[in-house]
Amino acid sequence: MQDKAVYLLYTETQLHAGSGPEIGSIDLPIQRERKTRFPVIQGIKGALRSYCRISHSDQVEEIFGSEIEGSANSKPGNVAFSEAKILLFPVRNPDKLFVWVTCPLVMSRFLDALDSKNTSSSDTPDSGSCYYKEKLNRLNKLLPQLSDEKAFCLGNVSRNEKVWLEEIALDSLKNQNEKEIMADIFKSISKCAPIEYLQNKLTEDVVIVSDNLFSQIVATMTEVVPRIRLSESGTTEERALWYEEYLPQDTAIYFVARPTVYANEGILGKLNDAIDGQLINIGGKETVGKGMVWVTLFGREGDKQ
């Protein structure tokens, strides 16, 4: 039985997966890991269930379990879902308009999630444990060279050996061997983008920074949007101004789906038939156009490089 499937999520619009009201400059912040401050999304299963309730209603109970828990006839789901973790975060760049930023910790987690001979299609070249361990080893070689003042650029995104991330200027490292080794993994990741232009951009405009700097970037470069509530007369209600935090458009995220111990053969195939290549809604504010996300199975057939 296939032991897991890794799915990429690409945000077509801003995404708000909130942690609840807080006292501070942002009234409604997004969910984050406590120790790293990296953005996460906890409610992936619920969002996927809501989508499949319309498109594949006959398979909802088999994949996700019964709607009502605790009753005598309730059934558990046959697929377990991880939280969604950040993979690539878009940041403004004066030369490329924007670039995607990631870090060794994020990439190590992602490559570890892929580290299984059954994660992707057998038709995908070099799939399997050894392939992803090689990528992880190459990534580890970059660690001693990275600092809060230096960055590794996959493509030609530097100017005068400097790469700009908003107002932050970093020294660009020159590691041609690592570029060639890491290029194909980002080419596979690029398939999550919905249009060819963005897919091509994703194979070049990627910057790897230190873990510490990445934590600062995702904590300070999200989008914060003011919202107001209007009265019936069309005027702003008193004390009805608040601020919401969003992951930006063009953010790449991923999650892992695994069959439970009591799942039947082929359950991940049924999940894939329901969600792969689909535009779904995750998080809040759907009625104002937020949270629209493309779902893509990593390593699916047809992604041959």
Residue matched to tokens 């969002």: 47
Torsion 149-150-156-157 (CA) sign = negative
* Residue 198 clears pLDDT 80, i.e. is over it: yes
What is the C-alpha to C-alpha distance for residues 248 and 13, in angstroms, rounded to an integer?
Answer: 7
**Model pLDDT, residue 129:** 63
Q: What 3 state SS string does the chain have?
A: CCCCEEEEEEECCCECCECCCCCCCCCECECECCCCCCEEECCHHHHHHHHHHHHCHHHHHHHHECCCCCCCCCCECCEEECCEEEEEEEEEECCCEEEEEECHHHHHHHHHHHCCCCCCCCCCCCCCHHHHHHHHHHHHHHHHHCCCCEEEECCCCCECCEEEECCEEEEEECCHHHHHHHHHHHHHHHHHCCCHHHHHHHCCCEEECCHHHHHHHHHHCCEEEEEEEECCCCCEEEEEEEEEEEECCCCEEEEEEEECCCCCCCHHHHHHHHHCCCEEECCCCHHHCCCEEEEEECCCCCCCC
* pLDDT tens track for 245-295: 999 999 999 999 999 998 888 999 999 999 999 999 999 888 888 999 999
What is the C-alpha to C-alpha distance for residues 240 and 229, in angstroms, rounded to an integer?
Answer: 5
Lowest mean pLDDT segment, chosen from 47-51, 146-150, 180-184: 180-184
**Model pLDDT, residue 106:** 95
Which pLDDT band, with edges at 50, 70 and 90, does 217 fall under? very high
**Model pLDDT, residue 74:** 79
* pLDDT tens track for 18-62: 877 666 678 889 999 999 999 999 989 999 999 999 989 999 999
Instruction: Tell me the mean pLDDT in the region 71-84.
Output: 87
Provide the residue type at 123 as one letter: D
Residue matched to tokens 């892992």: 256
**Model pLDDT, residue 236:** 67
Question: Mean pLDDT in the chain?
Answer: 86
**Model pLDDT, residue 183:** 85
Instruction: Tell me the mean pLDDT in the region 130-151.
Output: 80
112: which strand partners? Answer: none
133 vs 156, more confident: 156
What is the C-alpha to C-alpha distance for residues 107 and 86, in angstroms, rounded to an integer?
Answer: 10
Lowest mean pLDDT segment, chosen from 25-39, 50-64, 181-195, 226-240: 226-240
Instruction: Calculate what percentage of the chain has a pLDDT beyond 90.
Output: 58
Lowest mean pLDDT segment, chosen from 142-146, 158-162, 228-232, 282-286: 228-232
**Model pLDDT, residue 69:** 63
For residues 171-182, one letter each, b for 16 or more C-beta atoms within 10 angstroms of the residue's C-beta and e for the rest, the string is ebbebeebeebb
**Model pLDDT, residue 105:** 93
Q: Do residues 211 and 102 lie in contact, with contact meaning Cβ atoms separated by under 8 Å? A: no
Crossing angle of the two packed helices 129-142 and 104-114, in degrees rounded to 10: 170
Q: What is the dihedral of CA 162, 99, 189, 33, to 10 degrees?
A: 100
**Model pLDDT, residue 28:** 86
**Model pLDDT, residue 22:** 65
pTM for this predicted structure: 0.88
